[in-house]
Amino acid sequence: MSPLKRLLPPGAPATAMEVVEGLGLHTLPVAGGPARPRVLLNMVSTLDGRATLGGRSGAIGNRADRELFHALRSVVDAVMVGAGTARAERYGRLVREESARELRRARGLAEEPLACIVSGRLALGPETPLLADPAAHVAILTASSASVLDCEARIEYVRAARDGRLDLGGGLEELAERFGVRTVLCEGGPHLNGQLLQDGLVAELFLSLSPLLAGGDATGEALRILAGVDLDPPVELELLGVLESESHLFLRYGVRGAGSAPPR
């Protein structure tokens, strides 16, 4: 385990699991109303704003970032990802270690978070490891009436449409109603992040800031953590916590005006 220095609020060094356990996310009440889960974004970025290197995010973070990534998965009801990110990052099972499954059971959670893929066109297939795994349980949020073919995973559809487009707010409410989801950890990509923020659906942002400069334009593979929409006015954030490990900063922000205030 990589120790994390607590800079804000100050405190003794801690492991990723100790930090996440202290947040109490697995016991939070639903924010934004009785039928909508609390949405948390978890992203990684270089100092000059790159969210991917070579089309993937893994090369940006360090060991502590990976530990926080998995620790956050251990306390939420669902993990949400866009279809493009699921393909590019080759998403597989969300919780692979038996010890992590046991920890979730001890917390009163399902063995794994519900895997949620957001897809407008349902351009998904068995080339995504998650969908090829017969033990995986996947909810696909879409406005399409089509279905995914030739996949081994147990797939359920959340068909939420408004004016011909995906209604993310309605989809989140259905996740709560059908699957008992109270907390959703969104892991990107940038277009999904931007839409969630534009719709006022995000409560918190966890941002791992890597001490790297990568250059490039914010197009193609040089994506930032947000893309596709102009947030007008810009979304205001409140800094709630700062951790540090090997010059990587781990920032926790609350989104102002998004449901109830996040816990301190």
Specify if 43 maps to a domain. Answer: yes
- 1 pLDDT above the threshold of 90: no
Specify if 215 maps to a domain. Answer: yes
d(CA 97, CA 74): 11
Specify if 135 maps to a domain. Answer: yes
Domain of residue 136, residue span: 14-21+36-48+59-255
The structural domain count of the chain equals 1
Q: Cα angle at 152 between 148 and 154, to 5 degrees?
A: 75
Specify if 263 maps to a domain. Answer: no
- 86 pLDDT above the threshold of 60: yes
Confidence at 219, pLDDT banded by 50, 70, 90: low
d(CA 171, CA 160): 5
- 2 pLDDT above the threshold of 70: yes
Q: Specify the long-range contacts of residues 19-22, CB closer than 8 Å, at least 24 apart.
A: 19/68, 19/71, 19/243, 20/68, 20/71, 20/72, 20/74, 20/75, 21/75
The residues near 62 (Cβ < 8 Å, ≥ 6 apart) are: 2, 210, 245, 246, 248
Is 119 in contact with 140 (CB distance < 8 Å)?
yes
Per-residue model confidence as pLDDT tens digits over 227-262: 999 999 999 999 999 999 999 999 999 999 864 434
Which pLDDT value is given to residue 231? 95
d(CA 81, CA 22): 25
Specify if 3 maps to a domain. Answer: no
Q: Which two tokens stand for residue 112?
A: 């794994």
- Bigger pLDDT: 119 or 264? 119
Pick from 153, 161, 110: nearest CA to 134: 153
Specify if 4 maps to a domain. Answer: no
CATH number of the CATH domain containing 250: 3.40.430.10
Pick from 39, 68, 14: nearest CA to 208: 68
Specify if 9 maps to a domain. Answer: no
Which pLDDT value is given to residue 37? 94
Confidence at 218, pLDDT banded by 50, 70, 90: low
